[in-house]
């Protein structure tokens, strides 16, 4: 395949990744982007081009030695549940966006330590990125069958690196806040993880079952090779110690590599995603490693004695068979592995570079004076240029330093450098006594030894491989031989360097920490880191600070970086959380910590502290005082928690009381209204009776007809009074549940007929047309017949009262529903006011409708009907229909008790 | 002959009132609610109105408000005759401009006396 074609494929592939990232960014909360599998797969950024190509080289040249690098992480995984969750929590509450932030914050938010960690990370990772570029470049040339040009401007791989740098610098800087989640990038990396594994497995199957005839075939052909025996033994105790050291190395790497920290901590969306990662990621590594051996030894068999680069076997095998498709596939897999590493590493490095080095040591002054918009774009620009130059720098490093080294050797050196952070890092998590001086000196000593035993020889050997330095050591001191320091002579260079550097690093860290106590700020963060679980919900409380600070000053600083709106919103939320009056002038420790957190994502922990320190005046606190405050705050937190719980309970109770009270009030009011209406209704007939009686009593010459009329009035009003009392008592019995109904099986048709009969006279007097078929088939239901007659009589009487005065029509019909029968009584009178369709069933309902005359009745009839029907577990309602109104009720078919 | 308007929605109460005032030489007008009363008042200017409060359509309160606005009825006296017998009800009635407030059940004798007193005042 020619280089233009391959370049096009690379561009199309990058475009595809770009689209995936864009899509994921737009669907931030989709289940395709925000799930534990994407998280777990994104962690596979651990498997770089070094894994993809280099492991095969190691397996081919020195057998099983490729394995320890993967065993370390697998051993580390069970611990993840504890350690990783802790780191995630600490980072979340402190808005930590890199390992430099993490370590420096713990040791008193030290600007210097943050910068030191950043420098260590840069020294370790730039060569490592260079390594990935080397892999891309070499494989590009193999696949396009071109040779590397000595002039970098004529070499295609230069342009690939350049495009990559643009891609990463555009993609890595979408947010000013470095602790923001980059969903798009994570999804794209997860996608690449799937691809590289998939392509690698395809290659494995191809080599094992197509090129060869299964595993046994490869084995049979391999055993006869010259070095097979030698390359497939661990090598006794010495070999075992070497192995162990490499396992330790990779164990640390999975926590400390900036890209791993970035993916597993900063990009973690949900803590519980870790639970999936702890099985899925080891499984991924296992699958990846499964075919390494067959491919490596397949290559050894095919290219025996030809002096081929064993790192490139995975491309050379399909290429030598003329399978261009497979070759390109493998190339793309390796390309994926390389660019995920490059993109993630350069993003995390550039965050560290800007937040822990450039801003706190350089740009902070100018940022302090500018407004939010300009600051944001400047921070973005710093990061963007950072990513771009990191990649270009790595490329130059690769072109001028590591052209001739194998992939694995450079990678391991990076691991050893990064491992120097281990004592300070793990100390931060578990040891409260660890101090800043201890951490700084440990890292310094460790790195120096690492430099002496690994980096220096590495550079020297590329200049002069026969230097006496290796044999005779520094100035001829044999004990200082770089590869056999202090006479330790059975370790390979990398495990050797790791052992001594870590040993001294740890000792110095412990000794200095114990002898020089940290200041109160260190101790404060130590508490917050080690006991994170206690402070997780209100960590601002755990921050100890005493001094004078004005809210308005802090607000001004925040606005420079967050802008007006976000600042106001954040402060508002903060005040709500801690129940602080909105017009509070003085800031307390909690606000100081809160403000630092808000700034941290933008400019890093150290700069945030510097800015806040600039507008506040802090009083010195002694260490014992801090410990006392912390102790108190711990107690306070527990007490607070209890108080909050109790106050919540009280709130709930008082809410319930309020509700109950309100219900009582409503009931009271209803009762008052009811009494009012009842007394009014009772007084009306009494008034009529009294007036008539008085006339009869006082007026002796009253005409006979009038006398009789008044007596008749007295009788009918007395009856009315009695009926009213009956109904009130009825209603009261239903409402208090004293009224029992006796359900017996009855025919509802007969009951309706019985109810209508006494009304027939009235109906024919008013010339009303009544439709009801008395002769239909019996419908047996369970109801209290006497009460049902009461309901039907009431409804039909109402219908008689309200139907059209001249041509009254009443229709009674039945309907068979699923579980009940419904009875409908229609009349062609004026409808009920639509707003009062339910109110008509209330006690003493009186229509507000201006055109309806007050019904002659107690105003209790429908209320009683409702009570009766509800006692039968039925429903009653009214509906306005065309040219009239229908009152309906239901009776259940099943006997319900 | 004095004119009197009786407003109540209870026919039996109206019957007693009508008998009594006719016997006492009043010209009697009858309305079954506020609306009917206002209709009558368009053409008639009675000397006195006996007014119930709780009535359908237009209640006693609305009726007296309309009466007080009508200049032709400046001289017309109003007696509320209602079963609403709470202090607050009476106060409200008097505030609206009634000349007297009697609660139901009432004494016919006392009502007639009250009417006579009010009409004497106006003379």
**Which chain B positions have a beta carbon within 8 Å of A691's beta carbon?**
12-13, 16-17, 105-106, 108
Q: What CATH number does the domain containing A803 carry?
A: 3.30.565.10
Q: Which two structure tokens, joined as six digits, stand for A13? A: 């592939």
Question: Could you identify the residue written with the tokens 């690994």?
Answer: A454
Between the alpha carbon of residue A163 and those of residues A147, A189, A330, B47, the distances in Å are 20, 17, 21, 106
Q: What is the chain B residue with the closest CA to A693? A: B16
Average pLDDT of the segment spanning A186-204: 90
Q: Two tokens at A560?
A: 């420079």
What does the longest C-alpha to C-alpha distance in chain A come to?
Answer: 154
Residue where a domain terminates, one of A413, A432, A463: A413
Q: Does B88 touch chain A (CB under 8 A)?
A: no
Q: From A590, A621, A652, give the residue that closes a domain.
A: A621
How does pLDDT run across A846-873, given as a tens digit for each residue?
A: 554 433 444 445 577 888 899 899 888 8
Using a CB–CB cutoff of 8 Å, tell me whether B80 touches chain A.
no
pLDDT band at residue B76 under the 50/70/90 scheme:
very high
CATH of the domain at A259: 1.20.1730.10
The ipTM (two decimal places) reads 0.93
Whether the per-residue pLDDT at B51 is higher than 70: the answer is yes
pLDDT at B112 over 90: yes
Do A688 and B20 count as a contact with CB atoms less than 8 A apart?
A: no
Of B9, B84, B108, the CB nearest to A854: B9
- Chain A contact for B17 (CB, 8 A cutoff): yes
Alpha carbons B16 and A203: distance in angstroms, whole number: 114
Chain A positions in Cβ-Cβ contact with residue B104 (cut-off 8 Å):
683-684, 686-687
User: How high is the pLDDT of residue A407?
Assistant: 53
pLDDT attached to residue B24? 92
Of B13, B19, B109, nearest to A687 by CB-CB distance is B13
* Same-domain pairing of A715 and A603: no
**Given an 8 Å threshold on Cβ–Cβ distance, is A695 in contact with B84?**
no
- Are A107 and A198 members of one domain? yes
Q: What SS3 string covers A537-580?
A: CCHHHHCCCCEEEEHHHHHHHHHHHHHHHHHHHHHHHHHHHHCC
Contact between A869 and A799 (Cβ < 8 Å): no
> Which residues in chain B have Cβ-Cβ distances shorter than 8 Å to A709?
15
Q: Which residues of A touch B59 (CB under 8 A)?
A: none
For all residues of chain B together, what is the average pLDDT?
91
Give the pLDDT confidence of A68-110 residue by residue, as tens digits: 778 877 877 778 778 888 898 888 888 888 899 899 988 888 8
Peptide bond into A771 cis (omega under 30): no
Q: What is the pLDDT of residue A596?
A: 85
- Do A311 and A205 share a structural domain? yes
Residue B56, chain A, CB below 8 Å: the answer is yes
B55 and A717 within 8 Å at the Cβ level: the answer is no
* A379 pLDDT above the threshold of 90: no
Per-residue pLDDT for A897 more than 70? no
Residue-level pLDDT at A484: 66
Band of residue A463 on the pLDDT scale cut at 50, 70, 90: low
Residue A409 lies in a domain: yes
Q: Does B15 touch chain A (CB under 8 A)?
A: yes
For residue A302, tell me if it sits in a domain. yes
Does a structural domain hold residue A897?
A: no
**8 Å CB contact between A167 and A343:** yes
Q: Mark whether A229 and A266 lie in a shared domain.
A: yes
Chain A residues with CB within 8 Å of chain B CB: 679-680, 683-684, 686-692, 694-695, 698-699, 706, 709-710, 713, 716-717, 846-847, 850, 852-854
Position A857 scores a pLDDT of: 54
Residue the block writes with tokens 């130590």 = A526
| pLDDT given for residue A769 in this prediction | 92
Query: How far, in Å, CA of A410 to CA of A402, rounded?
Result: 8
Cα distance between residue B114 and residue A665, in whole Å? 40
Q: Give me the residue label for tokens 């963060």.
A: A525
Please give the structure tokens belonging to residue A413: 């050196």
- Based on the fold, state whether residues A123 and A184 are members of the same structural domain: yes
B97 CB near a chain A CB, below 8 Å? no
Distance of alpha carbon A555 from alpha carbon A400, whole angstroms:
50
Q: Is B9's CB within 8 Å of A690's CB? A: no
Measure the CA–CA gap between A364 and A335, rounded to whole angstroms. Answer: 38
Contact (Cβ atoms closer than 8 angstroms) between residue A169 and residue A387: yes
Mutate one of A676, A685, A694 to test the B interface: name it (highest B CB count within 10 A): A694
The listed range with the strongest mean pLDDT (A139-153, A251-265, A849-863) is A251-265
CB distance A395 to A153 below 8 Å = no
Instruction: State whether A238 and A272 are in the same domain.
Output: yes
| Domain end call among A372, A396, A413 | A413
Per-residue pLDDT at A267 exceeds 60: yes
The answer to whether B54 contacts chain A (CB < 8 Å) is yes
Q: Using an 8 Å Cβ cutoff, are A293 and A59 in contact?
A: yes
- Whether the per-residue pLDDT at A468 is higher than 70: the answer is no
Quickly state the pLDDT bin for A811 (edges 50, 70, 90).
very high
Identify whether A304 is part of a domain. Answer: yes
Q: Do B19 and A695 touch (CB under 8 A)?
A: yes
Q: Which residues of A touch B17 (CB under 8 A)?
A: 691
Is pLDDT above 90 for A812? yes
Higher pLDDT, A572 or A624: A572
Number of domains, chain A: 5
Q: Which residues contact A803 (CB under 8 A, 6 or more apart)?
A: A768, A809, A810, A827, A828, A829, A884
A541 and A530: one domain? no
Q: What is the mean pLDDT of chain A?
A: 82
Q: Does A207 reside within a domain?
A: yes
Same-domain status, A724 and A843: no
With an 8 Å Cβ cutoff, are B108 and A694 in contact?
yes
CB pairs under 8 A between A and B: 66
pLDDT for A851 = 37
**Residue B16 Cα, gap to closest chain A Cα (Å):** 6
Q: Between chains, do A695 and B20 touch, taking CB under 8 Å as contact? A: yes
Same domain, A606 and A634: no
Element (H, E) at A822: strand A820-827
Contact flag A690-B57 (C-beta cutoff 8 Å): no
User: Are A68 and A55 spatial neighbours (Cβ–Cβ below 8 Å)?
Assistant: no
pTM, two decimals, is 0.63
Which domains occur in chain B, in start order? 2-108 (3.40.50.2300)
Provide, rounded to the nearest whole percent, the portion of chain A with pLDDT above 70: 89
Confidence of residue A529 (pLDDT cuts 50, 70, 90): confident
CB contact under 8 A, B13 and A691: yes
Q: A691: distance to nearest CA of chain B, Å?
A: 6
The answer to whether A43 and A277 are in contact (CB under 8 A) is: yes
Among A26-30, A828-832, B11-15, where is mean pLDDT lowest?
A26-30
Q: What residues make up the domain containing A877?
A: 744-892
CB spacing of B23 vs A854 below 8 angstroms: no
Q: Which of A654-668, A691-705, A816-830, B95-109 is predicted with the least confidence, judged by mean pLDDT?
A: A654-668
The alpha carbon of B93 is separated from its chain's Cα centroid by a whole number of angstroms, namely 12
- What are the distances in angstroms from CA A233 to CA A59, A71, A259, A729? 12, 17, 33, 102
Predicted local confidence at residue A271, as pLDDT: 83
Q: For residue A178, what pLDDT is reported?
A: 65
Flag the least confident range among A390-399, A575-584, A719-728: A575-584
Of residues B16, B54, B57, nearest to A695 (C-beta): B16
Record: contact B105-A690, CB cut-off 8 A:
yes
Distances (CA, A) of A547 to A550, A839, B116: 10, 66, 89
Nearest residue in A to B107, CA atom = A691
Same domain, A279 and A405: yes
Which of A636, A618, A421 is CA-nearest to residue A520? Answer: A618
SS (H, E, C) A708-763: HHHHHHHHHHHHHHHHHHHHHHHHHHHHCCCCCCCCEEEEHHHHHHHHHHHHHHHH
Residue A691 lies in a domain: yes
Q: Which backbone phi and psi does A877 adopt, to 5 degrees?
A: -160, 165
Inter-chain residue contact B55 with A854, CB threshold 8 Å: yes
Cα distance between residue A549 and residue B110, in whole Å: 83
pLDDT single digits (tens) A386-437: 888 888 888 888 877 765 555 557 778 888 999 999 999 998 888 888 888 9
Kindly give, in sequence order, each residue whose CB lies less than 8 Å from that of residue A300, ignoring residues fewer than 6 positions away: A60, A222, A225, A310
Q: Which of B83, B84, B108 sits opposite A691 (nearest CB)?
A: B108
* Contact between residue A819 and residue A892 where contact means Cβ atoms under 8 Å apart: yes
Shared-domain flag, residues A394 and A442: no
What pLDDT does A118 receive? 93
Q: Do A687 and B54 touch (CB under 8 A)?
A: no
User: CA A358, CA A361: separation in Å to the nearest integer?
Assistant: 5
* Residue positions counted in chain B: 123
Joined together, the tokens standing for residue B35 give 């609306």
What angle (nearest 5°) sits at the alpha carbon of residue A190, between those of residues A188 and A194?
115
Nearest CA in chain A to B9: A854
A562 and A666 together in one domain? no
């Amino acid at each position: 395949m020619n280089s233009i074609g391959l370049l096009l494929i690379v561009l199309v592939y990058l475009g595809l990744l770009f689209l995936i990232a864009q899509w994921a960014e737009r669907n931030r909360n989709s289940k395709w982007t925000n799930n534990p599998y994407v998280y777990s797969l994104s962690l596979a950024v651990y498997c770089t081009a070094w894994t993809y190509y280099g492991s095969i080289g190691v397996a081919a040249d020195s057998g099983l030695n490729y394995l320890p690098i993967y065993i370390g992480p697998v051993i580390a995984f069970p611990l993840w549940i504890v350690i990783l969750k802790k780191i995630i929590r600490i980072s979340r509450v402190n808005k930590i966006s890199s390992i430099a932030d993490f370590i420096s914050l713990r040791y008193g938010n030290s600007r210097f330590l943050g910068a030191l960690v950043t420098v260590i990370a840069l020294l370790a990772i730039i060569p490592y990125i260079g390594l990935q570029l080397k892999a891309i470049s070499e494989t590009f040339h193999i696949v396009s069958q071109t040779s590397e040009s000595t002039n970098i401007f004529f070499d295609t791989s230069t342009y690939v690196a350049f495009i990559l740098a643009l891609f990463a610098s555009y993609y890595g800087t979408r947010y000013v806040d470095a602790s923001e989640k980059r969903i798009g990038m994570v999804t794209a990396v997860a996608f690449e993880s799937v691809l590289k594994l998939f392509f690698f497995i395809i290659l494995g199957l191809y080599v094992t079952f197509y090129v060869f005839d299964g595993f046994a075939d490869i084995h049979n052909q391999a055993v006869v090779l010259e070095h097979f025996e030698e390359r497939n033994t661990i090598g006794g105790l010495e070999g075992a110690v070497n192995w162990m050291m490499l396992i330790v190395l990779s164990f640390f790497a999975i926590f400390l590599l900036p890209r791993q920290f970035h993916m597993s901590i900063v990009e973690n969306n949900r803590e519980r995603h870790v639970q999936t990662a702890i099985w899925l990621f080891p499984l991924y590594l296992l699958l990846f490693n499964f075919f390494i051996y067959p491919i490596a030894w397949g290559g050894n068999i095919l290219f025996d004695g030809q002096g081929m680069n064993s790192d490139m076997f995975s491309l050379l095998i399909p290429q030598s068979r003329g399978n261009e498709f497979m070759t390109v596939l493998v190339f793309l897999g390796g390309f994926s592995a390389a660019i995920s590493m490059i993109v993630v590493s350069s993003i995390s490095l550039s965050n560290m570079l800007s937040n822990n080095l450039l801003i706190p040591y350089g740009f902070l002054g100018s940022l302090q004076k500018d407004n939010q918009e300009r600051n944001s774009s400047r921070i973005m620009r710093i990061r963007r240029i950072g990513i771009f130059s990191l990649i270009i720098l790595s490329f130059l490093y690769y072109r001028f330093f590591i052209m001739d080294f194998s992939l694995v050797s450079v990678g391991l050196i990076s691991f050893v450098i990064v491992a120097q952070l281990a004592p300070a890092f793990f100390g931060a998590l578990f040891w409260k006594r660890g101090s800043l001086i201890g951490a700084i000196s440990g890292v310094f000593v460790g790195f120096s030894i690492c430099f002496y035993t690994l980096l220096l020889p590495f550079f020297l050997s590329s200049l002069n491989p026969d230097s006496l330095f290796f044999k005779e050591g520094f100035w001829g001191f044999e004990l200082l031989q770089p590869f056999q320091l202090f006479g330790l002579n059975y370790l390979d260079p990398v495990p050797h360097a790791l052992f001594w550097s870590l040993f001294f690093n740890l000792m110095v860290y412990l000794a200095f920490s114990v002898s020089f106590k940290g200041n109160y700020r260190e101790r404060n963060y130590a508490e917050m880191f080690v006991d994170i679980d206690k402070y997780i919900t209100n960590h601002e409380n755990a921050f100890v600070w005493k001094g004078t600070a004005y809210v308005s000053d802090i607000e001004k600083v925040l606005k420079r970086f967050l802008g007006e709106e976000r600042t106001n919103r954040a402060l508002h939320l903060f005040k709500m959380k801690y129940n602080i009056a909105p017009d509070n002038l003085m800031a307390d420790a909690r606000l100081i910590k809160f403000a630092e957190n808000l700034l941290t994502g933008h400019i890093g922990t150290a700069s945030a502290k510097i800015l806040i320190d600039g507008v506040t005046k802090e009083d010195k606190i002694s260490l014992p005082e801090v410990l006392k405050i912390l102790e108190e705050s711990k107690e306070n937190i527990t007490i607070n928690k209890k108080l909050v719980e109790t106050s919540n309970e009280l709130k709930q109770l008082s809410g319930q009381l309020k509700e109950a009270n309100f219900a009582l009030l409503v009931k009271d009011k209803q009762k008052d209204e009811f009494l009012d209406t009842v007394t009014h209704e009772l007084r009306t007939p009494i008034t009529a009776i009294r007036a008539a009686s008085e006339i009869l009593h006082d007026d002796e010459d009253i005409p006979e007809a009038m006398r009789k009329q008044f007596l008749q009035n007295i009788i009918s009003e007395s009856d009315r009074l009695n009926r009213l009392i009956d109904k009130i008592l009825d209603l009261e019995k239903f409402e208090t549940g004293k009224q029992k109904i006796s359900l017996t099986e009855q025919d509802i048709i007969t009951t309706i007929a019985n109810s209508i009969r006494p009304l027939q006279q009235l109906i024919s007097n008013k010339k009303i047309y009544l439709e009801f078929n008395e002769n239909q088939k019996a419908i047996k239901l369970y109801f209290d017949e006497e009460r049902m007659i009461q309901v039907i009589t009431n409804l039909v009487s109402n219908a008689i009262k309200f139907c059209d005065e001249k041509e009254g029509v009443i229709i009674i019909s039945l309907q068979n529903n699923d579980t009940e029968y419904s009875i409908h009584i229609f009349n062609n009178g004026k409808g009920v006011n639509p707003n009062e369709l339910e109110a008509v069933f209330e006690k003493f309902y009186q229509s507000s409708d201006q055109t309806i005359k007050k019904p002659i009745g107690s105003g209790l009839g429908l209320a009683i009907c409702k009570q009766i029907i509800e006692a039968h577990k039925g429903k009653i309602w009214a509906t306005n229909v065309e040219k009239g109104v229908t009152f309906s009720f239901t009776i259940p078919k099943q006997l319900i008790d | 002959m004095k004119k009197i308007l009786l407003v109540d929605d209870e026919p039996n109460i109206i019957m007693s009132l009508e008998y009594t005032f006719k016997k006492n030489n009043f010209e009697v007008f009858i309305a079954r609610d506020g609306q009917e009363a206002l209709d009558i008042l368009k053409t008639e200017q009675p000397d006195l109105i006996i007014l119930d409060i709780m009535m359908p359509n237009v209640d006693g309160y609305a009726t007296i408000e309309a009466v007080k606005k009508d200049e032709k009825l400046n001289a017309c006296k109003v007696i509320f005759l209602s079963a609403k017998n709470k202090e607050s009800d009476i106060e409200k009635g008097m505030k609206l401009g009634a000349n007297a407030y009697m609660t139901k059940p009432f004494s016919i004798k006392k009502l007639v006396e009250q009417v006579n007193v009010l009409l004497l005042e106006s003379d």
